[in-house]
Amino acid sequence: MSSAPVTDPDSLLSESPPTSELILLTGASGYIGGRLLRLLEAQGRKVRCLARHAEYLVDRVGPETQVMAGNVLVRGSLDSPLRGVDTAYYLVHSMTAANGFEEADRQAARNFGEAARAAGVRRIIYLGGLVPEDGGLSPHLRSRQETGDLLRASGVEVIEFRASIVLGAGSLSFEMIRALVERLPVMITPKWVQVAAQPIGIEDVLAYLVAALDLPPGESRVLEIGGRDVVTYGQLMKEYARQRNLKRLMIPVPVLTPRLSSLWLGLVTPLYARVGRTLVESMRHATVVKDPSALELFPSIRPLGSSEAIARALRNEDREMAETRWSDALAVVGQRHSYGGERVGNRLLDSRSIHVEAPPSAAFAAVRRIGGETGWYFANLLWRIRGWMDILSGGVGMRRGRRHPDQLRVGDVVDWWRVEALTPDRYLRLAAEMKLPGRGWIEYEVAPEGSGSRITQTATLDPHGLAGLIYWYGVWPIHAVVFRGMIRGIARAAIKVSADSRR
């Protein structure tokens, strides 16, 4: 396994030429399905998405991608979406269902298999879970295995991939590990933390899913996929902590039952309260690859080890957050402003927007002049106090000012910030250089809206462990007032700039 893995998303784009065969993708609004959709579109594949709420996907797919409404639990809704399909991806599960996820998974697989056979679908590609070495199956893994069996029972060729933990920013397992390590300097770890697994990076999973499209026709296959090494959940937590420069103490105890473990998990990571017990029950048994057929069938794919997969997840998260507008992540939740703002991955965000009756050039002129002699448009005394506190703690404080009162360029200093990205009259991102328990940014985006503009301001913290979380929520009452006052002050300044330009 010494050859370089062909799993970088960019490398996948040129692996297969565009074809006219229609692909149906279920689960396109989910974690794996959403990433797979981008790869298929970039390769020029002809894709149709099946979704219960088609309106959610319409604005999130490429211009050539079709979106059709359908529900795998309603047999009659599947006939039209599957008509003319050559290959279908089945990336559906009901683990978050309030009641009876096993029966829901069972009915969905039967419906989909029957509809696929009736429509003449050539192949179904399905992602399930690795079966434990000792044969012990949790309800979740038993349902995953049964889903594959029911799809094969339809008579359609099924390529079933079975994976252990998927490592990638946004995956359920990775985010659970992240939440535990980031929040708990001392962890009481139950027995399942010492259970072996063979985690696989999300890009490696996607590589297998894409490669399966081009397999020659044949019998159904079950292919076990995993990363380069076998590790325990505890080792994954320690490796994540090491890469994030966090010191963590783990105290193993043998007495936490799956139920108690799930309650503990739900207490420290509320996001996983509903699926906590299901996850823990799956973690009690070792999940490692026993059959290396996938490596033999796809020789160009050589998955990374867990350490490299974690590093890539963190690196790609930084890249994706830098290449996109961070405030876009709040579009799905409608720009809610709950206490503490919003969370995207490990990052905590406060995003606010305001309409101003001024052209984008005037609105951005106000943004561009922020800091230095102009100040921060609200509560400048508080900013100076925070600057003095930063100096006392060994930071740069507010004393650096800025190079020019009106002009900015990438790399410029603005008080304790530095210009990280700049698009004239549209976008500014400042990276914090003050002393913080984590990494901080503030960004501004200006867009035309009606006869004026919309200014969006997003403050972000990538907290470093528990100290970062305490900092964010501890100063939140002050930040909420300051951030609201800042964007209103910028709006007033934009109107003034616009009025001055008309004189």
**262 is written with which tokens?**
């799930």
pLDDT attached to residue 370 = 95
**406 is written with which tokens?**
């009106």
Residues 224 and 334 placed together within one structural domain of the fold: no
The identity of residue 117, as a single letter, is R
- What string of H, E and C letters represents the secondary structure of 174-220? HHHHHHHHHHCCEEEECHHHHCEECCEEHHHHHHHHHHHHHCCCCCC
Distance CA 289, CA 32 (A): 20
What residues make up the domain containing 347?
325-502
Residue 240 lies in a domain: no
Q: What angle do CA 411, 412, 413 make, to 5 degrees?
A: 120
pLDDT in tens, 279-329: 666 667 788 999 999 999 999 999 999 999 999 999 887 776 655 443 443
Q: The CATH number of the domain where 416 resides is what?
A: 3.30.530.20
Residues 344 and 457 placed together within one structural domain of the fold: yes
Residues 6+ apart with CB under 8 A from 267: none
Of 309, 284, 425, 291, whose CA–CA distance to 364 is shortest? 425
Residues 6+ apart with CB under 8 A from 488: 354, 377, 378
Residues 420 and 281 placed together within one structural domain of the fold: no
Distance CA 248, CA 4 (A): 32
Of 189, 306, 197, 177, whose CA–CA distance to 249 is shortest? 189
Residue 318 lies in a domain: no
Indicate the number of domains in the chain: 2
Residues 100 and 207 placed together within one structural domain of the fold: yes
CA end-to-end span of the chain, whole Å?
A: 70
Residues 54 and 17 placed together within one structural domain of the fold: yes
pLDDT in tens, 39-58: 999 999 999 999 988 887 88
Residues 436 and 345 placed together within one structural domain of the fold: yes
Low-confidence ranges of the chain (pLDDT < 70): 1-20, 94-100, 133-137, 255-283, 320-340
Residue 236 lies in a domain: no
pLDDT attached to residue 327 = 40
Residues 28 and 139 placed together within one structural domain of the fold: yes
pLDDT attached to residue 135 = 62
Residues 268 and 202 placed together within one structural domain of the fold: yes
Residues 295 and 329 placed together within one structural domain of the fold: no
pLDDT in tens, 211-241: 999 999 999 999 999 999 999 989 999 999 9
Query: With contact defined as beta carbons under 8 Å apart, do 175 and 271 qualify?
Result: yes
Q: The CATH number of the domain where 72 resides is what?
A: 3.40.50.720
pLDDT attached to residue 95 = 56
Q: What angle do CA 236, 237, 242 make, to 5 degrees?
A: 95
pLDDT attached to residue 8 = 46
Residue 368 lies in a domain: yes
